[in-house]
Chain A
């Protein structure tokens, strides 16, 4: 496999707290990977280091052979890595359409208005187009957050808890829309998720974090069935065989 994104020996501490301890991961093109782990396990820290929000204390991150550490979020976005956020980062006083217009304008889309209309349709946001982003329901805010990240047509898309704070019956709907939007586009998707049903359904590979380390990495069935994952990530009581 020729990885599009590769992290090697990443370390990050906040005072006495180790958020990432020697994380080494690589991701192939056009793959979907679920990142799981309890709160504080290091998932979001990993995303933040990849996108330049945090600078690792040690280690390197390479994207298509280029070193990412030390680059700003803007530079990393320009290279083709985009992200959504755990708490949707929207322009609250602008309408949904204006949010997308800003994103399309930054991405220098050729036909900004048409591209925005297409995106509104694709994400089922057309009926909300004129509503202020600050007044949207959480599920729609999440969708808009992802739609904005996709405007730049990224090579790697990082989604930080795309369904958190959303009603259970809406979660699959959101993920269907998001995965439908990237399908066939050759996009490498990494998504942080706490809902294992979502992970099983959409991820081709699962990486489990615990205490700043990767404790399991593989296909969903094997990772979600591993004792360490069931004990530390899912929170099940695991008994040793008699």
Chain B
């Protein structure tokens, strides 16, 4: 899909989702809100993968974003969704800015495992902290957005609409970034770090910036997930949550900024249907889906879209 077509598709998808925010049944709004929240995390993961890095620890920032947003209301007495989202994103970005100084030095399995280790440290802290609800977590309730109070019953729809706007903005920004010199440089780093250094660019700096950006997106996704569910618990930082993001990234592929959202929606739909009709084997259903993707669509579901365009 060409860049212009990507932006057109992004605008069309955003308009359709905003319409759904107004008219769709609550269960669908909830499902799509979760999908978009996870899609934001995966969007950041795609940026890392385009740089040649796979993080198994994005749950750390997803959890941080969710807890920071929730704590603002729970402890700070602030129930404004916009502030919660900003807090979640800023908190994740700030922690990533510190951890990134170390992580940007590592590659391959070491990067993956180190990122996983950090997420499990947060998980351990959350589980042991009774002040944060321990394993049960705690509830949050946002009552307004940017100073405007929301009527009961419409909050979830408004939060979903906000996540659509966030999706649109984040995908547009990342699309511009990937099309720029920095995007090409990221892919060049994935291919050959040695050559990038010999051309005079700092690989470390690019990896660091991409890492912080990816983690800020994960924090943003975490904050939206917390608003959608109305509850946070340590599972958000657990390694299986991080694995889920990698699963979705592989499912969609890294070829386009829309792929993470498409894949996240399919993933949530598949999980909902599988757990409804095959409650004891739904993980196996997802496993078979992943197997099929790796065997028949190694470039992810997005290759179906881009492949069809090429055929035309």
A residues with CB within 8 A of B: 51, 72-74, 77-78, 82-83, 89-94, 98-99, 101-103, 105-107, 112, 148-149, 151-152
Contact = CB atoms under 8 A, between A and B. Distances in A.
Given A105-B181, A112-B181, A152 B188 contact: no
13 contacts: A72-B197, A73-B197, A89-B195, A90-B191, A90-B195, A93-B191, A94-B184, A94-B188, A101-B181, A101-B184, A102-B188, A105-B181, A152-B199
Given A101-B181, A105-B181, A112-B181, A91 B188 contact: yes
Contacts of B194: 89
A135 to B, nearest CB: 13
A146 B220 CA distance: 44
B192 A152 contact: no
Contacts of B181: 101-102, 105, 112
A147 to B, nearest CB: 12
Contacts of A98: 184
Nearest to B180: A105
Given A89-B192, A92-B191, A102-B188, 18 more contacts: A51-B198, A73-B198, A74-B202, A77-B200, A90-B191, A91-B187, A91-B195, A93-B187, A94-B187, A98-B184, A99-B188, A102-B184, A102-B196, A102-B199, A103-B199, A107-B199, A148-B195, A152-B199
B191 A106 contact: no
B201 interface: yes
Contact of B192 (A51, A90, A106, A151): A90
B185 interface: yes
Nearest to B203: A74
A5 B206 CA distance: 31
A91 B186 CA distance: 11
Interface in B189-241: 190-192, 194-202
Contacts of A77: 197-200
Contacts of B196: 102, 106
7 nearest CB pairs, A to B = A105-B181, A77-B200, A89-B195, A91-B191, A106-B201, A91-B188, A102-B188
Contacts of A74: 197-198, 200-202
Contacts of B192: 89-92
Contacts of B197: 72-74, 77
Interface of B: 181, 184-185, 187-188, 190-192, 194-202
Contacts of B191: 90-94
Contact of A107 (B184, B188, B195, B200): B200
A142 to B, nearest CB: 14
Nearest to A101: B184
Contact of A148 (B184, B187, B190, B199): B199
B182 to A, nearest CB: 8
Nearest to B190: A93
B269 to A, nearest CB: 32
A47 to B, nearest CB: 12
Contacts of A78: 200
B52 to A, nearest CB: 10
B178 to A, nearest CB: 12
B188 to A, nearest CB: 5
The residue among A78, A99, A152 with the most chain B CB atoms within 10 A of its own CB is A99
B184 A89 contact: no
A152 B191 CA distance: 20
Contacts of A103: 199
Nearest to A79: B200
Given A74-B201, A89-B194, A106 B187 contact: no
Nearest to A89: B195
Contacts of A93: 187, 190-191
Given A74-B201, A152-B200, A105 B195 contact: no
A107 B201 CA distance: 9
Contacts of B200: 74, 77-78, 106-107, 152
B195 A106 contact: no
A107 B199 CA distance: 8
A82 B198 contact: yes
Contacts of A99: 188
B198 to A, nearest CB: 5
Contact of B198 (A89, A91, A94): A89
Nearest to A107: B200
Contacts of A51: 198
Contacts of B184: 94, 98, 101-102, 105
A72 B205 CA distance: 15
A28 B181 CA distance: 35
A149 B181 CA distance: 18
A149 B190 CA distance: 19
A151 B199 CA distance: 9
A110 to B, nearest CB: 13
